Amino acid sequence: MSSVSSIRQQLIAVQHRASLGAFTLDVDVGIPAQGVTGVFGESGSGKTTLLRCIAGLETGSGTDSRPPHQRGVGYVFQEPQLFPHLSVEGNIDYGRRRAGADGLDKDHVVEMLGIGSLLSRKPAGLSGGEAQRVAIAAVLLRAPELVLMDEPLASLDQQRKDELLPYLDRLHDELSMPIIYVSHSIDEICRLCDHLLVIDDGSIVADGELHAILARLDVPVLAGRSAGSVIDARPERYDEGYDLTLFRFSGGELLVPGHYEAGAPRLRLRIAASDVSICRTRPQQTTILNVLPATIDEIQPTGPATDLVRLAMGSDYLIAQVTRRSVTNLDLKQGDNVFAQVKSVTVRH
Amino acid sequence: MEILGPLWLSVQLALVTTFVLFLIGTPVAWWLSRTAVRWKPAVQAIVAMPIVLPPTVMGFYLLVLLGPYGAIGGWWFELTGSTLTFSFAGLVIASCIYSLPFAVQPMQNAFESLPRQMLEFAWTQGASKRDAFFSVAVPMSSRGFVTAAVLSFAHTLGEFGVVLMVGGNIPGETRVVSIAIYDQVESLQYGAAHQMSLLLLAFAFTVLLGMYLVNRRWSPE
C-alpha cells in the first residue's frame, strides 16, 4: 500500500511497503505539509528507494498503481536530468506546460534561482551547479504538491556546493511547498531542514522536529561522526577587535568567529559532539572561549570506548562525546552539574 | 534502353519499405531496449537473421509462405483474389523482413543509450510514458532514426536474391533495378549494365556519405 495524501491539514501521509529483491521498505509516517523534511541515513538504508516509491518510479509489490505523471510529485535527481535537445527555457517549460495549473510565478522562480541569464543556453554548456539550479526551477514550476530532492549536492565539488546552498536556503525561506530532502550529510540536513526522518535498513527509526531528534542519544545512525546538536541563537554584539560575535541562547552565551549582524533573526548553530568536552569544575586558564554551566541529562554508551552525554542548558541541549574512562574517572551521573567546553561552533543559515 | 522504369520501381519499393519499417521497427526496437524478459535474446536473434542468412534461403521460405498455398499468401489470395508472389505487395513484405535488422538495430542502439533517469524525470515532470517517448526519446534518438532510414532504404534498393525468388522479373511490377542489371549482363548488354550499375554505385556512395555527414553534425548535445 502506498499513498501521498493529505490526512490532516498539517501532515502528508507517507505510507510505503515495498519489497525489492532482498530489501524491504516499510514506512508509515506523516510529514509536515510545510517546510523541509530531511531524510537521513547511511548509504543502502533505503533513502532513495523511499523517494522512488513516493514518486511512483518503483513498482515493488503492493505499491500505488498511479503512474508518476499523475502523482503531483516533483523529483530533483542527484544528477540533473535536463533534456539536451531543449534550451534551458524549454526544459523549464516542459513540466510547466504539462501541469496546466498555474503554480509559482515563472519570473520569480527564475530570479530566485539566478538562472535568468541562462535561459537561451543549451544544457550541455552549463556547470553542474547551474544545471542543478535549472532542474530545481523546472521541478518547482511543474507546480508539484510535494518536492523530492535526492542528494542534489552530492555530485558537486565543495565549491559548487557552497555556490548552490544559498539558493536552497532561499527555497526554504520563501516557499511554503513541502520538500523532502535526502542526504547522508548531517551538515546539509542541519542547515536546510526543519523536520527529520532517520531511516535505517528500510525503516524509519526516528521522526520529529530537527532539534529534538538530534538531541536523542538512542538513534544509532546519529551516534557516530554525525552526533551533535543544533541550537537557535540570536547574535547580540560584535567585537571588532577580535572578530567575534556574541550569540545568546536559552542556556547562555556563545562567542563565534565572524561578523553576524546584531538584531538579526535567530540563527541556527550546530555544535558537533566531538567538539564538546566536560569539566567537573569551571576550568581556569583555558584556550577554549566558550565554557557553559550545564546539567547532565542522559549518558548513553555508543561504542566500546565512548559514551554520548546529553547536557541540558536552558531549553536547549548539547551533546558531548567523551571516553568511557573519563565518565568513570569523573564519576559522571545523570543530574550532575558540570561545565561544558565548546571548541567549535558552525553557524548555519 | 529503359533505365528509369526499373530504377523508379526500386525507389518506390525502398520508400514504401522504409515507411513500413518505421511503423513496425520503432516499437520492436523500443521493446527490445526496455525489456528484461528471458527470451529477449531469441527475439534479437530472429530480428538479426536476415543479416547472416543467404538471400536464397530467405527467398525460398518467403516464396513458400507468400505463395497461394502458403499461410500468408493463401489468406491474401482469399481476400484479394490475386497472389502475393510475383507482385509488388509481395516484394514489400519480403523487403520488410529482409531489411528489418537494418531498421531495428540503429533505433535500438539509440534507445539503449538514453539515460533511464532522463525518462523518469520526464514522467515526474508530468509526461505520460507515451508523451515522454515522443517528446524526449524520439528527439534524442534522431541520429538512430536517420541511420535506420538510410540503411533500410539503401539496403532495400540493393537487394537481389530475395527479390528474384519472390518477385521474379515482371516489368513495371517486380523488375527492380538490380534484376534489370542481372538481365542485361545475362544478355551481354554490357553498355546498359554499366549505365545502371554506375548510377547505383554513385547513389550508394552519395547516400552513405550524406548519412555520415548528417550524423556528424546533428548530434543532440
B69 at interface of A, judged by CB pairs closer than 8 A? no
| Partner residue facing B126 (CB), from A84, A95, A135 | A95
Coil, helix or strand at residue A22: coil
A83–B221 C-beta distance less than 8 A = no
CB A142 to CB B135 under 8 A?
no
**The pLDDT value given to residue B218:** 62
- Helices and strands in chain A, H and E counts: 8, 19
In order of A90, A203, A231, B219, the CA distances from A335 in angstroms are: 62, 33, 21, 70
Determine, for residues B124 and A67 on separate chains, whether the beta-carbon distance falls below 8 Å: no
Measured between CB atoms, does B135 come within 8 Å of chain A? yes
A99: left (phi over 0), alpha (psi -120 to 50) or beta: alpha
* Chain B residues touching A57 at Cβ < 8 A: 120, 123-124
Higher model confidence: residue B5 or residue A335?
A335
Average pLDDT along chain A, 349 residues, taken 10 residues at a time: 45 78 82 90 89 84 75 93 95 90 83 92 92 94 92 89 87 87 90 92 90 88 84 92 93 92 85 93 90 94 90 93 93 94 85
Which superfamily, per CATH, for A2-214? P-loop containing nucleotide triphosphate hydrolases (3.40.50.300)
> Shortest Cα distance from A171 to chain B (angstroms)?
19
Specify the CATH number for the domain of residue B25.
1.10.3720.10
Contacts of B66 (CB under 8 A, 6+ apart): B72, B73, B76, B83, B84, B85, B90, B93, B94, B166
Nearest beta carbon to residue B117 from set A56, A77, A99: A77
CA B51 to chain centre: 12
Pull the grid cell for residue A263.
Answer: 538584531
For residue A139, the chain B residues in CB contact (below 8 A) are 124-125
Q: Is B115–A81 a contact, with Cβ atoms under 8 angstroms apart?
A: yes
Check pLDDT > 60 for residue B122. yes
> A124 to chain B: nearest residue by CA?
B221
Range scoring the smallest mean pLDDT among A16-20, A55-59, B20-24, B124-128: A16-20
Q: Which three cell numbers stand for residue B42?
A: 531469441
pLDDT band at B86 (very low <50, low <70, confident <90, very high): confident
Say if B122 is an interface residue toward chain A (CB within 8 Å).
yes
CATH number of A228-348: 2.40.50.100
* pLDDT at position B171: 79
Picking from A129, A148, A141, A143, the residue whose alpha carbon sits closest to that of residue A92 is: A141
Which three-class secondary structure state does DSSP give residue B127? coil
- pLDDT classification of B14: cutoffs 50, 70, 90: very high
Query: What local confidence, expressed as pLDDT, does residue B1 receive?
Result: 44
- Alpha carbon distance B83, B68 (integer Å): 6
Q: Which domain holds residue B118?
A: 4-217
ipTM above 0.90, yes or no: no
Nearest CA in chain B to A74: B124
- B137-166 residues touching A, CB cutoff 8 A: 139-140, 142
User: Number of folded domains in chain B?
Assistant: 1
CB proximity B126 to A under 8 Å: yes
Contact A95 B125 (CB under 8 A): yes
pLDDT of B78: 87
Provide the residue ranges of all domains of chain A, joining segments of one domain with +. 2-214, 228-348
Indicate if the pLDDT at residue B84 is higher than 70.
yes
Q: What's the pLDDT at A302?
A: 87
B131 touches chain A (CB under 8 A): yes
Point out the residue among A81, A84, A94 whose CB comes nearest to the CB of B117. A81
Report the candidate in B157, B118, B152 with the shortest Cα–Cα distance to residue B138. B118
Lowest-pLDDT range of A258-267, B26-35, B188-197: A258-267
Would you say residue B217 has pLDDT above 80? Answer: no
d(CA A168, CA B60): 68
